[in-house]
Amino acid sequence: MVMPSGPFGFSWRLFRFRSQTGFRGRLVPTLPLAFLALFIVAAIAAPWLTSYSPVRNDLINGMLPPAWVEGGSADYLLGTDRFGRDVLTRLIYGARVSFLVVVFSLAIAVVIGTGVGIVSGYVGGRTDAVLMRIVDIFLAVPPLLVALVVAVALGPSFRNLVLILGLLIWPNIARLIRGETLLLVRRDFVGYPRAIGVPTWSILLRHIVPNILPTLLVVATLEVANVILTEASLSFLGAGIPSPHASWGVMVDDGRALIATGWWIALFPGIAIVITVLAFNALGDWLRDRFDPKTRQVLS
């Protein structure tokens, strides 16, 4: 694979680097991994990274611009919102909210989607037809619209948001896992144990599940971006994380009406959403190429 030269080459090398071990075409997205590491550290260590409260009002210091802008203060590097809350603090705690939403909603989606996909692909017949029609029904409806309606009906809360996102994501996972299971069922290492009467649970645990893990890892990584965007969209519309809790979508909504006078309130959480989504998409693309034998052969 030819590396770009000139000014674009430097950007490419920042984004990815060539490993010195393994096959020659292995590329590791270092810059996305750095952003994701920063995202995870901020989510876990939020209370130790800032001394400010993400929800406590301080009207005296309201609407302070970032520190490098005239009128800003070094105590508030990214400025404050109209209630005097530190934007950087809310940004850090917003990463924690996004991280927890991703973990819990993906856990629900992976469990349901993997179970449905394996059962559908392994059993086949009418069971496969019924389960796939259910998946088609879920995939036929606009996810954001359904999430908005359900969130408004149940009320905005962290628990409801996690349940909604988990139940909306699992059909995508189920369809891909079902396809992988159909391919594995036709392989000899699965067909032979079935023919001699090995228990189904043993075949699933020893032969099916280990071989679908790469696909499951890739699809889960790619779905992270979808979860973050949906959570931010619902919070922006007032149907996700309820205000005044820190969430990137809530912060964008808070700054929407103040974009002319308080541009920093919505700008920085918007940038955080874009960077995080791009980083997870880049990591998912790399994992897909890494686990795909055809792509690996082309890169090498």
Query: Going along the chain, which residue ranges are E strands?
Result: 17-18, 27-28
Strand, coil or helix: what is 29?
Answer: coil
Domain 34-54+72-299: top CATH class: mainly alpha
CA atoms within 13 A on the CB side of 237: 17
Domain assignments of the chain as residue spans, ordered by start? 34-54+72-299
Q: What is the pLDDT of residue 20?
A: 37
CB 168 within 8 A of CB 146: yes
Q: What is the pLDDT of residue 13?
A: 47
How far apart, in Å, are the Cα atoms of 226 and each of 231, 233, 258? 8, 10, 27
Mean pLDDT by 10 residues, the chain (300 residues): 47 43 49 84 88 88 89 89 91 89 92 93 90 90 80 81 88 91 85 81 85 87 86 82 83 86 90 88 81 54
Indicate the pTM of the whole model: 0.79
CB 62 within 8 A of CB 81: yes
**Token pair of 201, please?**
């649970």
Alpha helix locations (H) across 30-157?
A: 30-44, 46-49, 87-123, 125-140, 143-154
Q: What is the pLDDT of residue 24?
A: 39
